[in-house]
Amino acid sequence: MLDRRTILRGSGASAASLALGGRAALAADADVVVVGAGAAGIAAAHDLKAAGRRAIVMEARDRIGGRAFTDASLGPAYDAGAMFIHWAERNPWVQIARELGIATAAEPWGGGFRVFADGKPMSDSERQKRRGAFGQIDRRLDAADLARRDLSIRDLLGQLDPAMSRIASSGLLLSIGEEADRISARDYQRLWAGDDLVVPSGYGNLVARHGAGLDIRLNQPVSEIRWDGPGVAVTTPSGTLRASACILTVPVGVLKADAIRFSPALPARHRDALGGIGMGALTKIALKVEGERFGITPGASFLEAGSPERLMNLDLFPEGKDLVIAYCGGNYARELSRAGRAEARAHVTELLTKIVGADIRKAVTGISFPAWWTDPFSRGSYSVCLPGSDAARDRLAEPIGGRIFIAGEATAGGGAMTVGGATLAGRAAAAAVTRLKA
């Protein structure tokens, strides 16, 4: 995936702790309950700990890292969620990796790039047409006056002929993971750009490593947050934790699904903000492919682009591993996620046979398919502002009752949709909590 704008953070600590909630804090189980042990939750917990606050992190999964997940279930590991340290010039994960002694590297060019249409190589003229279409989004964003009215990316491209608009829009399926008519042009316009780095040992592994030393409790999905008293009460399978504040870092998809009850209900302003943010469906399907390499240079990328609405990129044998990793997004990815592992495996295998040949079918020996869209603890890959709702991210980040703070990639402004943005949002929430007075 390319950069999303190019398409394809002694005594004084003790006093501060007492200030957080006054007498109520003394009787609490913690100063702060952090819900979610993804990048935002880990960042918030580290900063709270450094400020002398006792933070307990409740994580629904049996692992930490959230949507940053290095999966080794097939043997060779790959990043099943976030892969790139985007806009590395200001991304906090560059420094975190350096402090942990974990190497980062420039994005590898791999073993070449080829485009196919229904399994057959696409003609040079068609490839040139696609290349020109992809550039239309940024050109039109640069020229559009969005001050008076937000548009969807599809509307932004409305003056193109329908065929060109379909092609231009399709690039967003592999960068944003969403259909063009559901993407706010204003929000897309403010996304940060910059150089990308990768983590050869796994971005998910890096995030998990950074969680060491924190009080993180796994297999603890939060079912209710009460904030009708002086602090908060957070209910999990192990009981109810009381604290002076809560930093809530679960994905927007989980909040929109009402997986967590709030008492009293979230304010209307925050409910409206949630209504203006959807979840994209960028999806990876990894197949283990053993034995013959079929003459393919390891690290090659094949793009099946015969149908713009069903765009799929295939990374073949990255770093020489016995893996083929398929990427898709939007409604296409949702269909495959709902269909399940067996159908997803069959679908990608069939596509490979068209491109590579039937012999590859017997070399496919396993599948890894996190399916973020149907995962109950994610319900999507990352947040996407709907047209006309570009202010929703800032509204969602506003404190609730002076004690609940929603933080994550969805509240990260220009850093949205990234692990780096989630980290900055988690740090901002932790700073807001430490400023609280009795």
Tell me the pLDDT tens digit for each residue of 316-360. Answer: 999 999 999 999 999 999 999 999 999 999 999 999 999 999 999
- Alpha-carbon gap, residue 406 to 412, rounded angstroms: 11
- Alpha-carbon gap, residue 272 to 85, rounded angstroms: 31
Q: Which residues of the chain have pLDDT under 50?
A: 1-27, 438
**Per-position DSSP letters for 244-273, written without gaps between them:** SEEEE---HHHHHTT-SEEESPPPHHHHHH
pLDDT at 437: 57
- Alpha-carbon gap, residue 169 to 59, rounded angstroms: 36
Lookup result for tokens 């495996």 = 345
- Strands (E) in 43-135, as ranges, are 55-58, 70-71, 78-79, 84-85, 105-106, 113-117, 120-121
pTM of the shown model: 0.91
Tell me the pLDDT tens digit for each residue of 294-311. Answer: 999 999 999 999 999 999
- Alpha-carbon gap, residue 58 to 60, rounded angstroms: 7
Report the C-alpha dihedral over residues 370, 373, 379, 380, rounded to 10 degrees. Answer: 100
Contacts of residue 226, defined as CB under 8 A and 6 or more positions apart, other chains included, come to 232, 233, 234, 235, 262, 263
The answer to whether residues 433 and 425 touch, using CB atoms and an 8 Å cutoff, is no
Question: What are the residue ranges of CATH 3.50.50.60 in the chain?
Answer: 9-127+193-438
Contacts of residue 93, defined as CB under 8 A and 6 or more positions apart, other chains included, come to 85, 203, 206, 419, 420, 423
- Alpha-carbon gap, residue 322 to 364, rounded angstroms: 10
pLDDT at 189: 93
pLDDT at 132: 82
H or E, element range at 217? strand 216-217
Cα torsion 144, 141, 331, 347: sign: positive
Could you give the C-alpha distances from 426 to 41, 109, 300, 421, in angstroms and in order? 6, 32, 36, 9
Whether omega before 264 lies within 30 degrees of 0, making that bond cis, reads yes
Q: Considering the domain 9-127+193-438 in this protein, what is its CATH number?
A: 3.50.50.60
- Alpha-carbon gap, residue 400 to 227, rounded angstroms: 9
The strands making up 84-85's β-sheet, listed across from edge to edge, are 84-85, 197-198, 105-106
